[in-house]
Amino acid sequence: MSKPLGARGTVLFTFAVGIGLYLAWLLRDVLVVIYVAALFAVVLMPLVRGMMKLHIKQWHPSRGIAVLTMVLLTVGGVGAFLFYGLRPAFHDLREFMKKLPEEGPQFFARMQQVPVLRDVDWDDLQGKIQDFVAHSATYAVEFASGWAATAARVIAAIVLTGYFIIEGDDAYAWFLSLFPVERRLRLDQTLARASVRMGKWLLGQGTLMLILGASSTVVFALLRVRYAYALGVIMGLFNIIPVAGAMISMGLVVLIAALDSWTRVVGVSIFFLIYLQVENTWLTPRIMRTHVDLAGVTILIALLIGSALAGIVGAMVAVPTAVLVAVVVKEYAVHDEAIIESPHPVTAETLTLGE
């Protein structure tokens, strides 16, 4: 049995906890990057293990080779998408910026025909856009400097994710060593169950992304929206950010559809509203309930808390974090009725004696 801390020990412990919380607040950005990297390492581990099971005669990839292969495939896919999918868009964007002083009034006149956008002050917006074009070089420098830190954090998170996957076993063993020996097995089994459910979250989220990307591509192609295939891919990829991702990508689609006609704007808007209802009322509850085993209200609360704490990044990791918390709480805080059954059950006789 451990000895009590005493007055001096209690003061020192409280002081140490206060210093730790203060340092955690100062380093919150770094801690968020570390947490996100560790979480995605856990989520991606099933894919890495699946690649490690591949055999080519007597050779099978190691964990490092599997991680490197995933990185190369991701970089190659992004590069191919930028080169083949977005190159026409970049070309048209440059031409549009050159012709904006001449064709800008026609574009804004077309936008004013959209019923939802009639109340917008287009003259003021047009002046701001022309001012943006005139000072585009200055804004580009400010944009680059403002996003440099964000890009550095993203790269750091990717590198840390790779390290956590490769050296995760050693880090996990060190983490378990912080707990008493008699409690390690239970904690290890609990975290293993959480890891399996978090991996299923990736499968469910990938399913939602694939459904949105494929359906968007088909609808955009039928409506003859510019860059239909590229926009479909963007819609699918951005869906990894719950709620906000689809809205941001749909705003881009509406803007591009407005370049041609307002009827296409109406068409893509109707598609988005219908899909939003189908996803929120049918797809997400069934897919996430099946893979993640969380109630819809739990997922919604997790998204609200995650976005409030860490913005878009918090929303991305909100659901797997909720899975982890749910498994831990169920193991350590929720008890079955059979376990908490009282050794002295309450009966009519005991109630009578109590009186």
As a whole number of angstroms, the distance between CA 67 and CA 72 comes to: 9
78-100: pLDDT as tens digits: 888 777 777 777 777 677 666 66
pLDDT for 137 equals 59
User: Mean pLDDT over residues 187-192, rounded?
Assistant: 90
User: What DSSP character marks residue 59?
Assistant: B
More confident residue, 100 or 151: 151
> How many percent of the chain have pLDDT more than 70?
76
Please give the pLDDT value at position 86.
Answer: 73
Cα distance between residue 31 and residue 14, in whole Å = 22
Share of the chain above pLDDT 90, in %: 3
Average pLDDT of the residues in 120-143: 62
Rounded mean pLDDT, 21-25: 86
Q: Specify the range with the lowest mean pLDDT, choosing from 56-60, 145-149, 158-162.
A: 145-149
Q: Give the pLDDT of residue 143.
A: 61
What distance in Å separates the CA atoms of residue 116 and residue 110, rounded to the nearest whole number? 13
- The residue with greater pLDDT, 226 or 286, is 226
Contacts of 265 (CB under 8 A, 6+ apart): 114, 254, 257, 258
Question: pLDDT tens digits for 295-341?
Answer: 777 777 888 888 788 777 788 888 888 888 888 888 888 765 444 44
Q: Buried b vs exposed e over 283-310: b needs ≥16 C-beta within 10 Å?
A: bbeebbeebbebeeebbeebbeebbeeb
Cross-strand bridge partners of residue 56? 59
Q: Quote the pLDDT of residue 74.
A: 84
Distance CA 327, CA 188 (A): 12
User: Rounded to a whole number, what is the distance in angstroms from the first to the last CA of the chain?
Assistant: 40
Helix spans in the chain (H)? 6-26, 28-52, 63-80, 87-111, 122-134, 136-166, 168-176, 181-222, 228-238, 244-257, 262-278, 284-292, 296-332, 348-354
CA distances from 83 to 88, 210, 268, 295 (A): 9, 21, 25, 41
Give the mean model confidence (pLDDT) for residues 139-154. 68
What is the per-residue pLDDT for 350?
A: 39
pLDDT band at 107 (very low <50, low <70, confident <90, very high): low
CA dihedral 150, 154, 156, 157 (to 10 degrees): 130
CA 88 to chain centre: 28
The answer to whether residue 68 scores a pLDDT higher than 50 is yes
Q: What is the pLDDT of residue 203?
A: 82
Greater pLDDT, 17 or 222: 222
What pairs with residue 59 in β-bridges? 56
Dump the DSSP string for 246-297: HHHHHHHHHHHHTTT-HHHHHHHHHHHHHHHHHIIIIIHHHHHHHHH---HH
pLDDT of residue 100: 62
Mean pLDDT of 241-270: 83
Name the pLDDT band for 4 (thresholds 50, 70, 90): low
Q: What is the mean pLDDT of residues 286-295?
A: 74
Is pLDDT larger for residue 13 or for residue 142? 13
Give the Cα separation of 332 and 326 in Å (integer): 10
